[in-house]
Amino acid sequence: MRCNTPYESLVDYQDCKLEQVAADEIRTHLGSCADCARMVADLGRLVPDLRGALAMPGPSQRAIEYARMLPRRLMEESRPSIGVRIASLMRDSRTRLGAAGARGEAPRAVQLLYEADSYLLHVWQERSSGQNWSIIGEALVREGGEPALVDAVLLTGSDGISQAALFTDDQFRLQGVANGAYRLQVSLPDADITVPYLLIGASD
């Protein structure tokens, strides 16, 4: 037999808004109606979650104004507020390949080491499938060699399309990268490191 208990009654029951007699009737009913019992249980999770979400604290008005003004403020500045460092290539494992490199054969794995001010940037390229590559990297603080906390990594191709890296511990990863020339941007809290020309895969 279809249950005729109005959903509104279940909502009121879950919210303790029913008179005692009505609440007792609903409670008794829940003991024998699995559907209604499930709906009340669902409400018992949803309503506290909803209250909690609506009670989430928020930033001060001053902080919100700062955030809202960012596009206007940054457009007025001729240079970015975070220092941009262009990375210099220190080592490329492809230059050690000798005869293989001269024939233009693409190696299966490539290691690159860049320096940028107080940071070192390791980038590994590994052939994954077909003409695609996996790019793995990490940024290190030059003094001490500790991994640097990276906020974001963006790889942009010559067509202007960007791919954002995923992170595992201190390493960033990009999958399915095709042969070609890219720009790599690594964002750290106090600097943006840019590798303006990163050749993935075989040379032309």
Partner 1 sequence: MPNPRPSDAKLIEACLSGDNRAWDALISRYQRFIYSLAHRLGCSDADSDDVFQVASLRLYQHLEGVRNQESIAAWLATLVRNEVYRLHRRRSVVPMSDLGLEESEAAGSLVGSREAAVTPEQAALASERQQMLLDALGELKSPCRELLSRLYHEDSPGYAMVAAELGLPMGSIGPMRARCLKRLEKKLRDSGY
Binding site for partner 1 (CB under 8 A): 6-8, 10-12, 42-43, 46-47, 49-60, 62-64, 66-68, 70-72, 74, 80-82, 146-147, 149, 151-154, 162-164, 167, 169-170, 187, 189, 192
CB of 55 to partner 1, least distance (A): 5
CB of 83 to partner 1, least distance (A): 13
CB of 81 to partner 1, least distance (A): 8
CB of 141 to partner 1, least distance (A): 12
Starting at the edge strand that comes first in sequence, how are the strands of the sheet with 191-200 ordered? 83-86, 191-200, 180-188, 152-157, 162-164
| Cβ proximity to partner 1, 105 vs 190, nearer residue | 190
| Cβ proximity to partner 1, 14 vs 125, nearer residue | 14
CB of 153 to partner 1, least distance (A): 8
Cα 101 from Cα 94, distance rounded (Å): 7
| Cβ proximity to partner 1, 17 vs 96, nearer residue | 17
| Cβ proximity to partner 1, 84 vs 202, nearer residue | 84
Strands 191-200 and 83-86 come out as: parallel
CB of 167 to partner 1, least distance (A): 7
| Cβ proximity to partner 1, 141 vs 199, nearer residue | 141
By CB atoms closer than 10 A (0-12, 13-18, 19+), residue 13 is: buried
The answer to whether the Cα torsion of 43, 44, 48, 49 is positive or negative is negative
| Cβ proximity to partner 1, 147 vs 196, nearer residue | 147
Q: Are 43 and 10 in contact (CB under 8 A)?
A: yes
